[in-house]
Structure 1
Amino acid sequence: MDSSLPRALHDAMSTRLGDGWLTGEGRRLYGGDDSRRWAMPSAVALPRTPDDVVALVRACREHRVPLVARGAGTGTTGAAVPTQGGVVVSFARMDRILELRAADRCVVVEPGVLNGGLQQTLAPYNLFWPPDPSSADLCSVGGNLATNAGGPRAVKYGTARDNVLGLVAVTGAGDLIRCGGAYTKDATGYDLTHLIVGSEGTLALIVEATLKLAPRPHAQAGLRVLYRDAATAAAAVSRIMARPTTPTMLEFMDRSAIALIRRNGSDVPEAGAMLLVEADGDDDTLPYALQALADAAEGEGLIALDVATDGSARDRLWAARRALSPALRTIRPGKINEDVVVPVSRIPDLVAAMEALSLEAGLPVVVFGHAGNGNLHVNIMYDDADAAETARAQAALPRVFAQVLALGGTLSGEHGIGLSKRNFMADAFSAATLDAMHAVKAALDPDGILNPGKVLPPREPL
């Protein structure tokens, strides 16, 4: 047993959780996430019931032991890494779909349910849960809610926060709270549901969620639109988003991203920027929606516009987008990927600033992402075996965030803050705003045991 773990806590949890209480080498599997950070937890808990979670939180609070919630470990910001030791609580065994209420268009699930598995269960009912992060087949619903995950469909259907109706959660005081429910309208008290979503396990541990479902569209079609430069592509994004027809997806790639996928065998023509646009609906209305989006996409700087209506054509259209992230590793083995957000009208300014940063740092910087939301992924590529390149990449990161904030943007659209962006929160918010966030944290987690050191920067000493 880890010497930092109180014997009373170990004995109580070992008795309660049995083989769901790990203190041996098995802990190593729960120490990291996709940020490539890692730390050894003092213990790992795998509860099966909400009562197990209540008992665990109360015991950790009694002994002042940190408690870090973990989904499937696909996060990129270090939010699930136990940097201060303590107990990692994995929800892998709380993976039941508790109730599917098709008539109410909602489903009640435990946090360990995987996004991809949930979608398969919903398909026969012609329903789906809209959040579709790139790790959808692997990531958990609890993790999606903890980070307010989104994905390409967020432009039409919203992020995780927009698609949850209610929660059952355990606060840092060990209290089980219920908020929201199987209804879409609620003006009763404070909205704790949407406060907890996106809080990355720092306010409460989600043990049950009521998710809002959407009808599965009968048909989809897409457009691939090439432009002279990022400015004319961004102008097209503004025109598209001003139309009554909202695209299901609206993805952007800059010149560097296009050059990369061309080098890796894609048949995309050379261009300064590209938009991938998708619409969904039924067989009668889809052609009109697609035409409206195509009309809006036309304008200054247009090089080419291709339509894909059948399944194979759509697959080819989106193949380049799906291949982009893996292709990045062919440039450099190291990658800093930040999912920043700017107003749509400022996309050209951000792309231009990243091109300048690339030249100054002597490193490739590739920009792509969810243009309809202004949520772009800035990828700084470097050789992580080269100390000089690594140092230049790390030095470039604060300049990315400074530029985003100067453009009226924000630090994250779907990955969250975790550890990697925590120290930039003071640049994004005033001292009074951060004080308000700390006050909320103190109210729900009075002893600061839930995921300490994440999201909020340390308070300045008085």
Structure 2
Amino acid sequence: MPLPSTLLDFLHEAFPSGAVSTAEAERRACAGDNSRLNTLPDAVVFPTEHAQVEALVHACREHRVPITARGGGTSSTGASVPLEGGVAANFMRMDRILRIDPDNRLAVVEPGVTNEALQLALAPHGFFWPPDPGSAPWCTAGGNLACNASGPHAVKYGSTRDNVLGLRAVAGNGESFRCGTQTTKSAIGYDLTRLLIGSEGTLALITEATLKLTPKPLAVRTLRASYRNTAAAARAVARIMAQPATPCALEFMDALALKLAREHQPEAGVPVVEALLMIELDGAQDALDSAVAAVESAARVDGLVQLEVARDEAQTRALWAARKALSFAQRAATQHKINEDVVVPVSRLPELVDGVKQLAARHAVPIVSFGHAGNGNLHVNLLPRDVDEIERAYAALPGLFALVIALDGTISGEHGIGVVKREFMPLALPAATLDLMRGIKAAFDPDGILNPGKLLP
């Protein structure tokens, strides 16, 4: 249904020329994301300042029109798809880095700045922002906040939620507010900052974020360990994470992942084993030798086939070749990849990988397991190649999530819930917890205009 003419007239008055559009091309650009879901919004607005966002929310609330915030559109869960039409608030023009403060290890940014642009701006100051999703060149800080993104380095530095000090936002009731502080310690009541992070734009629209920065490490070392089976690799992960030198990355690849990478890029030298760990350590140069020695010792469990340590940049690239080849191998295998990001306790990784193998056999669809082993966060990628396999792949998802919950895990580690996983939320959380979350939603967004149809079942 078209937007009320009074709302459109107001938006054209409140926003500068070219910042409000009902043209099909711009609506279509905001209709989908990496979930392959697609719904056209009725209009697109491009805010460039906080006051415009506040005016937008007030006007949409008055007319009971939904608002869906979006940045780079890289979500794999449909979190940024405007399921009920309404207005898509595209924050890509609100992309300023307002302040970089090295003395206080913080940066103040608008939500539309991309993760990569932020990292490039921080590098000359000797700092970085730890969240490092694979979509960094395209995803925005606002999107990282919305789904609590992380990436390989979360094992040492934490996810987005661990690296934000404060926010400025507009709640669904139209009220502007600030939460958090510019200090790393605070004990002043409810932590609304952490509440908003991961809420997928269902509570408030974030217009400014104060980010906690980390000094760039002076040196990095890379190791690759190959194992006869997943159980041996999992034992090694537990031992590595139990010693003081925490890796900045600890990645896992199963046998099928290695096979795909080997077939796609034979020159990469991918070993023929059942499980592989990529381990990265960072820090001061003079401290890395002892850290590497400690990790080497922890990685040497029964079932180890080979342990390699890179001594220079060329060797580092060679060791990472298997992991890099996998991304291209999956794209070559199918355009219909279903990417899940489940998490289990590290000790239960073998049960997860074995259970996934059984699901793949039961549903006759290829499934690859790889990812952030140090957190127990695996990307379980279903790779259907035709219509029948696509149907069987989606039929396998309830079994995957039931397996994860049975292993004391959770159904998402960094991608969020959106609409794709919404129906499985009762598996992950008790009814009483979901009711409390609905109460929080009602307090922030009493008319339910912010990103309706997402997150809460």
TM-score by length of 2: 0.98
User: How many Å apart are 1:292 and its aligned residue?
Assistant: 0.9
> SS of 2:380's equivalent?
strand
Tell me the equivalent position of 1:401: 401
Please report how far the alpha carbon of residue 319 of structure 1 lies from its aligned counterpart in structure 2 after TM superposition: 2.6
Q: Report deviation, 1:314.
A: 1.4
Distance between the aligned counterparts of 2:20 and 2:332, measured in 1? 41
CA deviation string 1:65-115 (max 9, x = no partner): 000010110110000001110101011111000011110000000000111
Q: Per-residue deviation at 1:271?
A: 0.4
Mean alpha-carbon deviation: is it higher for 316-325 or for 387-396?
Answer: 316-325
Match of 2:384 in 1: 382
Map Cα deviations across residues 253-307 of structure 1 (whole Å, 9 max, x no partner). 0111111111122202100100000000111101111111111101110000000
In 1, the alpha carbon distance for the partners of 2:85 and 2:330 equals: 33
Deviations 1:349-379 (CA, angstroms, capped at 9, x unpaired): 0000011111111111100000000000001
For 1:90 and 1:226, locate their aligned partners in 2 and report how far apart those are by CA, in whole Å: 45
Which residue of the other structure, out of 8, 22, 26, is the alignment partner of 1:10? 8
Alignment of 1:266-415 (within 5 A): 266-383=268-385, 386-415=386-415
- Secondary structure, counterpart of 1:366 in structure 2: strand
Displacement of 1:428: 1.2
SS at match of 1:278: strand
Write the distance in 2 (CA, Å) between the matches of 1:64 and 1:367. Answer: 43
Q: 1:122, CA displacement in angstroms?
A: 0.7
SS of 2:206's equivalent in the other structure is strand
Superposition pairs of residues 189-200 of structure 1, within 5 angstroms? 189-200=189-200
Distance (whole Å) between structure 2 residues aligned to residue 442 and residue 313 of structure 1: 54
3-state DSSP of counterpart to 1:454: coil
Verify the 8 A CA contact 1:232 1:302 in the aligned structure 2: yes
How far 1:316 moved relative to its partner?
2.1
Give matches, 1:103-182, under 5 Å.
Answer: 103-182=103-182
1:331, distance to aligned residue in structure 2 (A): 2.6
Shift of 1:156: 0.1
Partner Cα separation in structure 1 for residue 302 and residue 414 of structure 2: 31
> What's the counterpart of residue 45 of structure 1?
45
d(CA) in 2 for partners of 1:29, 1:226: 43
Distance in 2 (alpha carbons) for counterparts of 1:226 and 1:331:
24
2:416 counterpart letter in structure 1: G
State how 1:203-282 maps to structure 2 within 5 Å. Answer: 203-264=203-264, 265=266, 266-282=268-284
Distance in 2 of aligned mates of 1:312 and 1:282: 20
Query: Contact 1:116–1:138 at 8 Å: present in 2 too?
Result: yes
Matches of 1:123 and 1:434, distance apart in 2: 41
Following the alignment from structure 1 to structure 2, what is the Cα–Cα distance between the partners of residues 246 and 422? 34
SS of residue paired to 2:93: coil
List runs of 5+ in structure 2 lacking aligned partners.
none
Amino acid at match of 2:401: F
**1:24 aligns to 2:10 (yes or no):** no
Query: 2:432, 2:359 → 1: CA distance?
Result: 32
Measure how far apart 1:415 and its partner are: 0.3
Please state how far the C-alpha of 1:181 moved relative to its aligned partner: 2.0
> Following superposition of structure 1 onto structure 2, how do residues 431-446 of structure 1 map, counting pairs within 5 Å?
431-446=431-446
2: CA distance, partners of 1:221 / 1:136: 22
Shift of 1:328: 0.9
Letter in 1 for 2:246: T
Residue in structure 2 matched with residue 430 of structure 1 by the alignment: 430
SS of equivalent residue, structure 1 residue 88: strand
Q: Equivalent residue for 1:460?
A: none
In the TM superposition, what is the alpha-carbon distance from 1:144 to its structure 2 partner?
Answer: 0.4
How much does 1:339 deviate?
A: 0.3
Is the Cα contact below 8 Å between 1:91 and 1:111 reproduced in 2? yes
Task: Read off the aligned partner of 1:9 and give its amino acid letter.
Answer: L
One-letter amino acid matched to 1:328:
Q
Listed one character per residue, the Cα deviations across residues 438-459 of structure 1 (whole Å, up to 9, x for unaligned) are 00000001100000000000xx
Deviation at 1:230, TM superposition (A): 0.5
Of the structure 1 ranges 441-450 and 3-12, higher mean CA displacement relative to structure 2 is found in 3-12
TM norm structure 1: 0.97
Shift of the alpha carbon at 1:320? 2.0
Work out the CA distance in 1 between the residues paired with 2:98 and 2:335. 42
**Do the aligned partners of 1:204 and 1:450 also contact (CA within 8 Å) in 2?**
yes
Question: Could you tell me how far 1:309 is from its partner in structure 2?
Answer: 3.2
Q: Mean alpha-carbon deviation: is it higher for 249-258 or for 259-268?
A: 259-268
Question: 1:35-64 CA deviation, whole Å, 9 max, x = no partner?
Answer: 111110000110110000000000000000
CA contact (8 A) 1:72 1:143 kept: yes
CA offsets per residue over residues 133-161 of structure 1, 9 Å max, x none?
00111110000010100000000000000
Distance 1:456 1:366 in 2: 28
Aligned counterparts of 2:182 and 2:148: Cα–Cα separation in 1: 19
User: Across the two proteins, how many residue pairs are aligned to each other?
Assistant: 453
Quick one: which amino acid aligns to residue 440 of structure 1? I
SS at match of 1:183: coil
Give the superposition deviation at 1:325: 2.1
Query: What's the secondary structure of 1:44's corresponding residue?
Result: strand
Q: Is the 8 A contact 1:230 1:254 kept in 2?
A: yes
Contact between 1:220 and 1:309, CA under 8 Å: does it hold in 2? no
Kept in 2, the 8 Å contact 1:38–1:81? The answer is yes
Match of 1:89 in 2: 89
Moved over 2 A (4+): 329-333
Shift of 1:16: 1.6
Q: Which amino acid aligns with 2:402?
A: A
- The amino acid across from 1:5 in the alignment is L
What's the % identity of the aligned pairs? 57
State the distance in 2 between where 1:346 and 1:45 align: 46
- d(CA) in 2 for partners of 1:449, 1:205: 11
Shift of 1:7: 0.8
